[in-house]
Structure 1
Amino acid sequence: MFNSNQCTPKYFLLTGLPGLETVYPWFIFPFCCTYLVAIIGNSLILTVIKKNSSLHQPMYLFLAMLASAELGVSASTLPTVLGIFLFGTNEILFEACLLQMFSIHSFSIMESGVLLAMSVDRFVAIYNPLRYTTILTLPRIAGTGAALGMKSVVLMFPLPFLLKRLPFCGRNNLSHSYCLHSDLIQLPCGDTRPNSILGLCIVTSTFGLDSLLIVVSYVLILYTVLGITSGDGRRKALNTCVSHICAVLVYYVPMISVALVHRFMKHAVPAVRLLLANVYLLVPPVLNPIIYSVKTKQIRQGLIQLILQRKY
């Protein structure tokens, strides 16, 4: 199981929901439906935006980036989560675990960055609507997407190599149904300070900074909206932000909830904490396509047209 020269495990053992193994069959249908909704929903959003030239505008292009990031998160966790609940397979090769960790965190970082870009997009649209499309041009949007993708890869790139150099000394049991950096650095018996410091820097410079800047963006949006004299104009301006506000809440509330449970409910049933951890990564990819389909008229109409085209 271990390479004798480096104490490197050949595989890790993932954890499903401890104590609930006998009821795993009851989880198969909800988990399969959840992944199906996430993958189909985000794929439809991408297809609608691609096929409708009228949707090739900043707001919808950023939405396409968000859907792509959420597809990446779903695809990263799907093999091991469904492997555990469908087939009872809880082993993952060492290299595959590092790749999954890299993918999950990279797409999550990108998702957070896109939500920040969308908040800036809403501020520009409300603050200076006449110059909206001249400020957020297609090259700038493409550059923003490329920068967010590059940032995610560059920040995460060192972590797998830092982990690979460490001795694990016979420990290979993970506490989730997928590989996370915060989980993996608990196992080595060597010096994990570089990993911990880099991990903290990544969290602070991405999720921490992004959430702070999103709040600042909405403070500026609210200040701008209050300056609109027409009540109807204020309502219309705020209405354009509803979908994005929901997306931000759907992303950050589960994340904060998981952090609070780990911090203040350490003695809670492990299955509860692990179920919340799965929900944290699964909820945004499932709910965001639904939110934007319901709240955004152009997306809703595009979906209806797409369905009717396929029907006939």
Structure 2
Amino acid sequence: MNLMLYTSMLPKTLAIFWWGSREIGFVSCLVQLFFVHNFTAVESGVLMAMALDRYFAICHPLRHSSILSMPVVAALGSLVLLRGVLMVGPACFLLHRKAFCQHRVISHSYCEHMAVVKLVCEDTSVNAAYGIFVAFAVSGLDLTVIAVSYTMILRVVLKLSSSDTQLRTFNTCVSHICVILTFYVPALFTSLAHRFGHSIPQHVHILVAHLYMLMPPTLNPIIYGVRTKQLRDKIVVLLKQRGILPVSVRHQLSL
């Protein structure tokens, strides 16, 4: 999902920085806007589904495979994809019906919804209201499910008798929590800043909007990779060969 989200804006971004191609057709802009926000909504749904998976794996381990069977997972994935299409589609339709001003310069390197809305010469209160509704409907629902899931997980973990068992159990969720933070923090900031952060400098908007697109696909492999023992062993061997790893650190990483 990260790959599809990144691919939806990467070709045009590279064309801007490499070849100075600073123009994009209106229909192409709407198509890019649809895919960027649709895949964002889908990725949010995937993170929510992963939280549910961890909840059933920790709180109901004996029923995990029966509850989250392949048909259930396929149906959940289809619903998440359908939700993204149904939520983002009307936003593109509303923009298509608007009249745009002579000044049609987007400050971002991709077509972000509120950045395009700001180019409209008509009243955009409906567009802005629908955009904030989608943001809260998607992120609000998913974050609520994630919060409830981890609250239940925390309750189960705290009831375990051994502190080592508690640590190992909750340790399985650390990677997912880090991915959630790298995805939602920039996404919510850029969504709210466009609507309420009028005093925030423009370059901050642009920087956070790009971090919102680039951080998850860049950091996710690292976050999940450091949890893989085989990869850690390979890194230790490489650092040993270069002689830049202290003996004490070698021993800790090999545990």
TM over 0.5: yes
Match of 2:140 in 1: 208
Name which of structure 1's ranges 107-116 and 204-213 shifts more when overlaid on structure 2.
204-213
After alignment, is 182-191 or 148-157 more displaced? Answer: 182-191
Post-superposition shift, 1:208?
Answer: 2.1
Q: Once the 2 structures are TM-superposed, how far is the Cα of residue 257 of structure 1 from its aligned partner?
A: 4.5
Quote how far apart the aligned CAs of 1:95 are: 0.5
Letter in 1 for 2:102: G
Q: Distance in 2 between matches of 1:115 and 1:231?
A: 27
Distance 1:231 1:267 in 2: 45
Task: Determine the structure 1 residue equivalent to 2:199.
Answer: 266
* Residues 198-277 of structure 1 mapped to structure 2, 5 A cutoff: 198-258=130-190, 263=196, 266=199, 268=201, 270-277=202-209
Question: Which residue is 1:94 aligned to?
Answer: 26
Equivalence for 2:104: 172
- Distance in 1, matches of 2:216 and 2:199, equals 25
Deviations 1:193-224 (A, max 9, x none): 33222212211110122123212221111011
Relative distance call for 1:122 and 1:288 in structure 2 (3 A) is: same
Match of 1:194 among 116, 121, 126: 126
Distance 1:130 1:267, change over 3 A: closer
Amino acid at match of 1:150: L
Distance 1:196 1:255 in 2: 16
Deviations 1:206-243 (A, max 9, x none): 01221232122211110111111222221221011011
Provide the C-alpha distance between the structure 1 equivalents of 2:96 and 2:33, rounded to a whole number of angstroms. Answer: 13
**Partner AA of 1:104 in structure 2:** V
Q: Identify if the C-alpha distance between structure 1 residues 171 and 294 changes in structure 2 by more than 3 Å, giving closer, same or farther.
A: same
Higher RCO (CA-CA < 8 Å; seq separation 6+)? 1
CA RMSD of aligned residues (A): 2.2
Q: Is the 8 A contact 1:254 1:279 kept in 2?
A: yes
CA distance in 1, matches of 2:204, 2:129: 29
Q: What amino acid does structure 1 have at the position aligned with 2:199?
A: K
Change in 2 beyond 3 A, CA 1:169/1:259? closer
Matched, 1:157 2:89: yes
What is the alpha-carbon distance in structure 1 between the residues aligned to residue 179 and residue 63 of structure 2?
Answer: 25
The alignment's TM-score, normalised by the length of structure 2, stands at 0.84
User: Does the CA contact (< 8 Å) of 1:127 and 1:221 recur in 2?
Assistant: yes
Q: What secondary structure, in the 3-state scheme, does the structure 2 residue paired with 1:157 have?
A: helix
In the alignment, the residues of structure 2 paired with residue 178 and residue 238 of structure 1 have an alpha-carbon distance, to the nearest angstrom, of 38
Counterpart of 2:160 in structure 1: which amino acid? I
Other-structure match for 1:287? 219
Q: CA deviation at 1:267?
A: 5.1
Report matched runs for 1:117-136 at 5 Å: 117-136=49-68
How many residue pairs align between the two structures? 233
Gaps of 5+ in 2: 235-255
Counterpart secondary structure, 1:295: coil
TM-score normalized by structure 1? Answer: 0.69
| Percent of residue pairs identical | 43
